[in-house]
Amino acid sequence: MRLVAILTGLLLLTAPVAHAEDGHDLWLRYRPVEATAGYAPAVIAPVADTPTLKVARAELERGLTGLVGAPSPQTGRVILIGTPASSPAIARLALPLQAAGDEGYLIRTLSVDGKATTVIAANRDVGALYGVYRYLSLIQTRQPVDNLNIASAPKVRLRMLNHWDNLDRSVERGYAGQSIWDWWKLPAYSADPRYVDYARANASIGVNGTVLNNVNAKSVSLTAPWIAKAGALADVFRPYGIKVYLTARFSSPIEIGGLKTADPRDPAVKAFWKAKADEIYKVIPDFGGFLVKANSEGQPGPQDYGATHVDGANTLADAIGSRGVVIWRAFVYSHEQPDDRAKQGYSEFKPFDGQFRDNVVIQVKNGAIDFQPREPFHPLFGAMPKSNLGMEFQITKEYLGFATHLAYLGPMYEETLRADTFAKGKGSTVAKVVEGALDGRKLTAMAGVANIGVDRNWSGSHFDQANWYVFGRLAWDPEASSRDIAADWARMTFSNDKRFVTPVVDMMMSSRETVVDYMTPLGLHHQMGRSHHYGPGPWVSGGERADWTSVYYAKAGANGVGFDRTAKGSNAVAQYAAPVGACFADLNCVDEKDLLWFHHLPWDYRLKSGQTLWDGLVTHYSRGVAGVDAMGETWGDMAPYVDAERHAQVAAFLKIQRSEAQWWRDASVSWFQTFSQRPLPAGENAPPLSLEAYQAMSFPYAPGI
Ligand code: BDP
């Protein structure tokens, strides 16, 4: 017994003090810096007694204590946080805070009363909170903090997460477990520490709004008991500068209002929405507003009554008034689109430019189809200068291998944001549209479909945390570099050792292209299984509606492959500004990465590499598989720099990804070969996949399981 006790005691003594690294801390992982790093503890000056400044101070104390040790008066260093209104000391400094706006901040090293002082100042409390997170990140990424002169302000006003969380806690297209909203226990129990950690994580990257529920909405979420639940969450998030929004099902006036119609022109319907908004604002005085998916994928909408998107959006916008916004999605998919689903959003919305109320944001997905691994930018960007146009990215990887495939989405977001719409000549980038800079718009927005669930690591995999992180950082500054952001994330989340940072950032930066290669190379798109969206889908499309399938989008046949969107085909290119459309339509100009998005080409078409299209396609698929092998090797080498627990999970997921990349490659190659009827290039092989073999590999997504 004694021996056991002694051994146990020894084990306890040698066990690491820190709790297991399960990823729950995200990038707010305030582990001690190396002694050599040269940071010293500091004293945090008292702050004004406001909820946000109190959390700012608490976060700073928590971060500094973890990173450099408990605040100590001995060092003679002081950190002063606040606004001129709340802190006479800051007011006396007369800092140039105009450029900081409502949410920005200044961080300066100054001498105040003879003491070296780091001043984190803002016009509003929330700016000071953002400044605190920035200051901590400097230490987390080992940058000098002794002589600071930083100014930062967000370029986009609404930086929001869209949760596709259902009221039964399932999450549509969520791969990180159940919804973190524990509706059953709300509003009584809102003290779940997860809610605070969620708010901290979001505030740390500047996210200032959250839509709690699924765009495929339920009316019941707008009834009193559910408004109270949302209100309890809003109370938790408020100090962190995060507003709560709700989705609104368009037919709510019928379903919960007892009306016979939801026609937005009907006075009783208008009155319903006004009363509903008033009811919500009584409970949530800073309610952000409604997000609406209407007349898309079977959801109800104004068109059901012969009314328009303008009628629908404006009715809700009038109900909300100056208190908030209505975010109306331009993702409209209906069965009626005759020739090309890529054209529907533009066709339905462009004619209404200038007719939406000032508090309406039209939320447009990054591409014209649907969150594919690669899409050219959506033609609505730049095409509606008299409307508020927001960006919708998907953070959850519905079409990029869920949580098990490693794909850093920063380069994908950046590719879209940097694309040039040419709407007002060269330099009219999508980022400039989203920032409102191109058309002088003030109400700007960027939304990300969240990848968050109850999994300990929040996102289902450690690397998917990076996608949440990069979304927030790009929403703050759509022109920031996804590589720099990846480096910050890797340092804050894992290690500052450059033997880790350099290879891992390189791996992250190429990871999305690797996924594109094994799933949808050369501009192919929508090749996944129709319902699960996980594996390759060519064979399961039999019997489905032709216009919803991989068959429809690939247009493969004996004569070639690809979707002709030139004037000879659907002419979707005409929805872009003239120079852009002309380039997409011109084989000498279009980027090969978008080739089969815009062109239907013969199998023997010559690629720039000199390969035929058929050979090149196969080469891309194989390159994708090789890319996953390379990631596996890189990650294997990282074991010395990463705790065993997180290292093992990433390694295991890379193995899954490896076998599924092969699955994608083999299925796609053997399917396309049935059309190309050409031999595989030298050195390549692919087992011909029967429907049965394909379905066996689809486990657990195969029909009937
Ligand atoms: C599609 C998803 C579907 C969503 C839809 C949307 O498969 O679950 O409801 O997008 O954005 O990609 O509304």
Q: Using a 6 Å cutoff on CB, does residue 424 contact ligand 1?
A: no
Tens of pLDDT, residues 618-660: 999 999 999 999 999 999 999 999 999 999 999 999 999 999 9
- Give the model's pLDDT for residue 538: 65
Helix ranges restricted to H, 526-608: 550-554, 578-585, 595-598
Residue 556's nearest CA partner among 426, 676, 679, 455 is: 676
Q: Using a 6 Å cutoff on CB, does residue 215 contact ligand 1?
A: yes
Sheet holding 149-152, edge to edge: 43-44, 78-82, 115-121, 105-112, 149-152
- Helix or strand holding residue 150 (H, E): strand 149-152
Beta-ladder partners of 445: 158
Residue 287's nearest CA partner among 227, 329, 239 is: 227
Mean pLDDT of 470-487: 98
Tens of pLDDT, residues 126-143: 999 999 999 999 999 999
Atom of ligand 1 nearest to the CA of 296: 13
Distance 529 CA to ligand 1 centre (A): 14
Q: Using a 6 Å cutoff on CB, does residue 172 contact ligand 1?
A: yes
3-class DSSP state of 119:
strand
Q: pLDDT category, 1, cuts 50, 70, 90?
A: very low
Specify the DSSP class assigned to residue 128.
H
To the nearest whole number, what is the mean pLDDT of the chain?
Answer: 93
Tens of pLDDT, residues 384-399: 999 999 999 999 999 9
Say if residues 630 and 623 touch (Cβ distance below 8 Å): no
The CATH architecture of the domain made up of 159-247+340-493 is Alpha-Beta Barrel (3.20)
Question: Angle between the 465-476 and 482-493 helix axes, to the nearest 10 degrees?
Answer: 130
DSSP string over 552-573: HHH--BTTBBS---STTTT-GG
Tens of pLDDT, residues 232-252: 999 999 999 999 999 999 999
Which of 170, 297, 400 has the most ligand 1 atoms within 8 A of CB, as the residue to mutate?
297
Q: What percent of the chain has pLDDT over 70?
A: 92
**Count of Cβ atoms closer than 10 Å to residue 378 Cβ:** 28
β 325-329/149-152 pair status: unpaired
pLDDT at 20 exceeding the cut of 80: no
C-alpha to C-alpha distance for 385 and 572, rounded to whole angstroms: 20
C-alpha to C-alpha distance for 471 and 482, rounded to whole angstroms: 10
Ranges in the chain annotated CATH 3.20.20.80:
159-247+340-493
The b-or-e profile of 169-203 (16+ CB within 10 A means b, else e) is bebebbbbbbbbbbbeebbeebebeebbbbbbbbb
Give the type of residue at 576.
Answer: Y
The b-or-e profile of 29-43 (16+ CB within 10 A means b, else e) is bbeebeeeeebebbb
The CATH architecture of the domain made up of 31-152 is 2-Layer Sandwich (3.30)
Which tokens belong to 209? 């709004």
Mean pLDDT of 285-298: 97
C-alpha to C-alpha distance for 159 and 151, rounded to whole angstroms: 19
Q: How many residues does the chain have?
A: 705
Ranges in the chain annotated CATH 3.30.379.10:
31-152
C-alpha to C-alpha distance for 381 and 419, rounded to whole angstroms: 10
pLDDT at 678 exceeding the cut of 90: yes
Give the type of residue at 532.
Answer: H
Which tokens belong to 182? 């524990």
The more confident residue out of 668 and 272 is 272
Q: 13-27, 358-372, 406-420, 525-539: lowest mean pLDDT where?
A: 13-27
CA 477 to chain CA centroid, nearest Å: 14
Which of 218, 299, 327, 398 has the most ligand 1 atoms within 8 A of CB, as the residue to mutate?
398
Mean pLDDT of 17-32: 85
- Give the model's pLDDT for residue 580: 98
Mean pLDDT of 184-191: 98
Q: Is 250 exposed, middle or buried (0-12, 13-18, 19+ CB in 10 A)?
A: buried
β 115-121/158-162 pair status: unpaired
Which tokens belong to 498? 């450059």
Take atom 12 of ligand 1 and give the residue whose Cα is closest: 370
Q: Using a 6 Å cutoff on CB, does residue 173 contact ligand 1?
A: yes
- Helix or strand holding residue 629 (H, E): helix 613-637
3-class DSSP state of 535:
coil
pLDDT at 190 exceeding the cut of 70: yes
pLDDT at 691 exceeding the cut of 80: no
Mean pLDDT of 9-14: 42
- Give the model's pLDDT for residue 701: 52
β 325-329/43-44 pair status: unpaired
Q: Using a 6 Å cutoff on CB, does residue 141 contact ligand 1?
A: no
- Give the model's pLDDT for residue 694: 65
- φ and ψ at 566, to 5 degrees? -85, -175
Residue 72's nearest CA partner among 44, 98, 49, 50 is: 44
Q: What percent of the chain has pLDDT over 90?
A: 86
pLDDT at 167 exceeding the cut of 70: yes
C-alpha to C-alpha distance for 697 and 535, rounded to whole angstroms: 9
Q: Using a 6 Å cutoff on CB, does residue 216 contact ligand 1?
A: yes
Mean pLDDT of 508-534: 93
Which tokens belong to 59? 């976060």
Say if residues 228 and 187 touch (Cβ distance below 8 Å): yes
Q: 403-412, 570-579, 588-597, 677-686: lowest mean pLDDT where?
A: 677-686
- Give the model's pLDDT for residue 703: 44
- Give the model's pLDDT for residue 507: 99
Mean pLDDT of 42-66: 96
